[in-house]
Structure 1
C-alpha cells in the first residue's frame, strides 16, 4: 500500500505540474511580465547587442581597411569604396529595421504610452533625427547596457536549458511509471523512480530561480525600454559612422571589365585591373566614413525602407539569378579537387559537371573543343599557378557565401549572440558579384582542373607502363 500511495502521489504531481494550454495563453497576454516570451526576447536582445558591437571602432576598421579591399570583392562586386560601404551600411541598417519591428510588436504590451508609440518614434527618428524621449544613449551607457543585456541573455539561455532538462526528466519518470504497475514494480525501478523524482525536484528549483533572475520575470515596460534605447542608439551610431545624415550623391560607374581568356591550352590571365587600394593611414571612424555612401537609388524613400531596397541584387548579379549558393559550392568543390587532382575520379567529375549551369557548360565546351595538350610538366606548373591564383581571391567569397546563407537560416536566427559566430556581410559574398565574371573565372578553373587531372592521369599511366616493362622477362 505504501508503494501504491507513493506512486499515486508521483503521478498526481506530474499531472498537476503540466500547465493548462488555455490558462497559460490567456495569462501570458494579460501578465505584465514577459514570461514565456523571454526566449524570443533574449534572441532579439542578442541581435541588438551583436549589431552594436558590429559598429565598434575595431569592427569598422576591419570593414574599411580589410573587407572592402579583398581582391575578390574588388574584382567581382565593385572597386568603389562608396558603393561597397553603402552596401555594408544598408545591411546593418536593414538588420536593425527587422529588430526594431520585433521591438514594436513587444511595445504593444507595455503600459507606458511612450513605449507603445515606439514604432512611430523610431521611424520619425530615422528620417528626421528627432529624439523627444531622449532614448539615444552615450557610448559608455550603451556599453553598460550591452553588458547587462549579455547577463540577461545568458540567464535566459540557462533557463531554456533547465526547462528542457526538466521536461526530459518528467518524461523519463512518466515513461517509467507507465511501463511498471504498482504490484510488479521492482526494487531497481523504485530506486530509479526515486532518483528521477529527486532530479525533477532539483530542476524545478533551478527553473524557479532562473525565472526570477532572467528576462522571464522582467516587465514588458522594462524590457522594451532597454530595447528601445538600444535601437535608437544603434541607429544614431550608424548615421554617425556611415554619414547617413549627409546627402552626398556619388556617381558610380558600371564594372565593364571582363576576364580575358585565351586558348584552352595555356592558362589565361584573369586578374581584373583595379584601382589602387585606399591608404591605410589611421582615421577617425566617426568622420572618415561619412563621405559619399548612399547611392542615388537609395534617395527615393525613407532611410529604413531604402536600406532594404539597396540589398536587392541588381540585374546581372548572381543574387539576381538566385545562383550565389550554387556557384559557391561549385567553387568549393573545385578548390577541394585542385588540392589533389590525382585523386579526382570519374564520379567526382560527373558530380561537379552536374552542378554547372548551362552557360558555364557552354563556355567549358567551347574552351575544350579541339584542344589536345600534351602532358608537360612546365604547362602543368603554369595551370597549377593559374588555378591557385584564381582560388586565392575567389574561394574566400564562396566560403563567405555559404556562411552568409547559414547565418540567415531559421535555425541560426534563433541562436543568441553567445552561440553565433562572427557575422558575415553580404559584401564579402557572391550575392552581389557580376555573373559574367564569376562564370568566366569558374570556366577558367574547370579548364585548368581538367588539364591537371589529365596530366596526373597520364603521368600515372606512364609510370605504370614503365613498371610493367621493367618487370617483364
Structure 2
C-alpha cells in the first residue's frame, strides 16, 4: 500500500510539473531542428560572410588605396584619412550590430544556457576583449573550413526555398487542372515533395538549432575581432596579443611591419592605423568603471550621424544623386534636351540652388555662338562629373542594395560604403558644383540650339538658291 502511494505521489508530481511548465517540452522540440527559421538564418549567414569578405586583405587594401582616395571623397567629404577610415569602421560595426540583434533574438530560444547569454558575452567581448568561451578563436584552416561549410548551408537553403516555391506553383496549377489531367500533376507534387525532403537534409532546416546558433555566435565574434584589429580599436583590451589568431591580422601590404603593444611576435600584418582613429576617442570611456558606461555598438552608431553641414543631415543625398545623374545624361547629349526636360530639371532644384543659379545667370546674354567657350565648358563639366558622378552613382547603388536586402532571401553583398556616397558630402560644396553644371549646361544647350538653327537656315537657303537657279525655272522664265 505504501509502495502504491509512493507511485501515485510521483505520478502526481510529474503531472503538476508539466502543468506548471507547459513550454518546456516545446522548447526542447524547438531546439532540435532549425525548421522554418532556416531561411532567416541563411540570410544572416550570408550577410556575415559578405561582411567577413569585405575585411579580407584584398578589400582592406582596396579600401585604403581606392575607396577613401576617390577624388570626390577628398573634395566634398573629407581629406582626413583617419576620419574616413573611422566612417568605414563605423559602418561595418553598424552592419554587424544589426545582425547581432537578430542573433540575440534567436539565442534566447536555445536550450544551452551559454548561448542564451550571447548578448552579455558579445558586449563584454566588444568592450573589454574578453572571450570566455573562445568563440573568436577561429584561424587558418579552421576558419576556412567553417566558411566553406556555411557556404554549403546557404546554397542548400536557397535551393530549398526555390523547391518550396516550385511546389507551391505546382499545387496552384493542380487546382486549375481538369480531372483528366490531375493525376499527372499529383505525381509531380509527390516528386517535388520527395525533392524537398532530400534538400532539407543538406540545408539548415534539419540542423540542430543550438549548433547553428553557435555557428552564428562564433562567426560574429570572429568578424568583430577582425574589425577591431584591422582598424586598431582598443588594442589594449587584448591582454595577450600573441593569442590573436594570425588570420585576424590586417593586410600585409598596408602595414607589413606593424607590431602590437610592443609585442615581438611576428604577425602577417598590423592594423590600418598605428594610432587610434579620430572617431574612436569616445571608446576610451568604455570599461573605465564609471557609472555612465557607453556601449561599443552604441558609440559606433553615433559616429555615423552626419554633421549638420552635410547632405545626409539635410536628407538631400539621394535627391541630389538623382539630379546629378540626370544632368550627366543631358551634358552628354545636349542636343536631345527639350524644353520640357529643362523645366523638369528646374522643378527638381531646391531654393538654395535656384537662388545661386539666378545670380550666376544674371547678365548672361542670350547669344551662345562661341565654339571655343562651348568647348571650354564641356571640358570643365567633364572634369566636375569625373569626381562628382561616381559619388552620385554610388549613392543610388548603396540605396538599391539595401532595398534588395528587404525583398530577397539572400542579400546582395554590399560593395559600396556610405563614405563613398553623397551622404557625408558638404552641402554648400555640392550645391556649388551642381550650380556650375547647370550654368555650363545652359550655355552648351543654347550653343547647340543656335548651331542647329544656323545649320537648318543654311540648308534651307541652299535649297532655295538651287531651286531658283535650276534649268526648269530658267525655261519657265
Q: Which residue in the other structure is 1:21 paired with? A: none
Deviation, 1:283, is: 2.9
What's the TM-score once normalised by structure 2's chain length? 0.81
Q: Which residue in the other structure is 2:323 paired with? A: 330
Aligned residues: 402
Q: Which residue in the other structure is 2:372 paired with? A: 378
The farther-off stretch of 322-331 and 286-295 is 286-295
CA offset digits 1:137-156 (Å, max 9, x no partner): 33322222111111101000
Deviation, 1:290, is: 4.3
Deviation, 1:328, is: 0.2
Q: Which residue in the other structure is 1:257 paired with? A: none
User: Aligned partners of 2:419, 2:127: CA distance in 1, in Å?
Assistant: 25
User: Aligned partners of 1:228, 1:172: CA distance in 2, in Å?
Assistant: 42
User: Aligned partners of 1:137, 1:323: CA distance in 2, in Å?
Assistant: 43
Q: Would the alpha carbon gap of residues 360 and 246 (structure 1) be closer, same or farther in structure 2, given more than 3 Å must change?
A: farther
Q: Which residue in the other structure is 1:469 paired with? A: 461
SS of 1:31 mapped into structure 2: helix
CA offset digits 1:160-217 (Å, max 9, x no partner): 01001101100110222xxx5xxxx5xxxx1x32221122111101111111211111
Deviation, 1:292, is: 3.1
> Which of 276, 279, 283 matches 2:255?
283
Any stretches of 5+ residues in structure 2 without a counterpart?
A: 1-24, 237-251, 257-268, 286-293, 469-477
Over aligned residue pairs, what C-alpha RMSD do you find? Answer: 2.0
User: Aligned partners of 1:194, 1:294: CA distance in 2, in Å?
Assistant: 70
SS of 2:423 mapped into structure 1: coil
SS of 1:66 mapped into structure 2: helix
Q: Which residue in the other structure is 1:31 paired with? A: 30
User: Aligned partners of 2:170, 2:372: CA distance in 1, in Å?
Assistant: 67
SS of 1:111 mapped into structure 2: coil
Q: Would the alpha carbon gap of residues 246 and 434 (structure 1) be closer, same or farther in structure 2, given more than 3 Å must change?
A: farther
CA offset digits 1:6-54 (Å, max 9, x no partner): xxxxxxxxxxxxxxxxxxxx97994221111111000001011111111
Q: Would the alpha carbon gap of residues 450 and 171 (structure 1) be closer, same or farther in structure 2, given more than 3 Å must change?
A: same
What's the TM-score once normalised by structure 1's chain length? 0.81
Q: Is the 8 A contact 2:40 2:409 kept in 1?
A: no
Q: Is the 8 A contact 2:61 2:254 kept in 1?
A: no
**Is 1:361 aligned to 2:354, yes or no?**
yes
Q: Would the alpha carbon gap of residues 137 and 281 (structure 1) be closer, same or farther in structure 2, given more than 3 Å must change?
A: closer
Q: Which residue in the other structure is 2:50 paired with? A: 50
Q: Which residue in the other structure is 2:17 paired with? A: none
Q: Is the 8 A contact 1:383 1:448 kept in 2?
A: yes
How is 1:173-322 mapped onto 2 (pairs within 5 angstroms)? 173-176=174-177, 180=178, 185=179, 190=180, 192-246=181-235, 283-284=255-256, 286-295=270-279, 298-299=282-283, 301-322=294-315
Q: Which residue in the other structure is 1:392 paired with? A: 386
Q: Which residue in the other structure is 2:146 paired with? A: 145
Q: Would the alpha carbon gap of residues 29 and 388 (structure 1) be closer, same or farther in structure 2, given more than 3 Å must change?
A: farther
**Is 1:106 aligned to 2:99, yes or no?**
no
User: Aligned partners of 1:36, 1:394: CA distance in 2, in Å?
Assistant: 45
User: Aligned partners of 1:459, 1:339: CA distance in 2, in Å?
Assistant: 17
User: Aligned partners of 1:389, 1:72: CA distance in 2, in Å?
Assistant: 11
Q: Would the alpha carbon gap of residues 383 and 29 (structure 1) be closer, same or farther in structure 2, given more than 3 Å must change?
A: farther
SS of 2:130 mapped into structure 1: coil
How is 1:69-108 mapped onto 2 (pairs within 5 angstroms)? 69-108=69-108
User: Aligned partners of 2:302, 2:437: CA distance in 1, in Å?
Assistant: 34
Q: Would the alpha carbon gap of residues 229 and 175 (structure 1) be closer, same or farther in structure 2, given more than 3 Å must change?
A: same
SS of 1:47 mapped into structure 2: helix
User: Aligned partners of 1:298, 1:444: CA distance in 2, in Å?
Assistant: 39
Q: Is the 8 A contact 2:76 2:430 kept in 1?
A: yes
Deviation, 1:366, is: 1.1
Deviation, 1:414, is: 5.2
**Is 1:405 aligned to 2:406, yes or no?**
no
> Which of 416, 428, 437 matches 1:436?
428
> Which of 346, 355, 379 matches 2:339?
346
Q: Is the 8 A contact 1:242 1:290 kept in 2?
A: no
Q: Which has the higher contact order (CA 8 A, sep 6+)?
A: 1
User: Aligned partners of 1:330, 1:298: CA distance in 2, in Å?
Assistant: 37
Q: Is the 8 A contact 2:356 2:435 kept in 1?
A: yes
Any stretches of 5+ residues in structure 1 without a counterpart?
A: 1-25, 248-279
Q: Which residue in the other structure is 1:453 paired with? A: 445
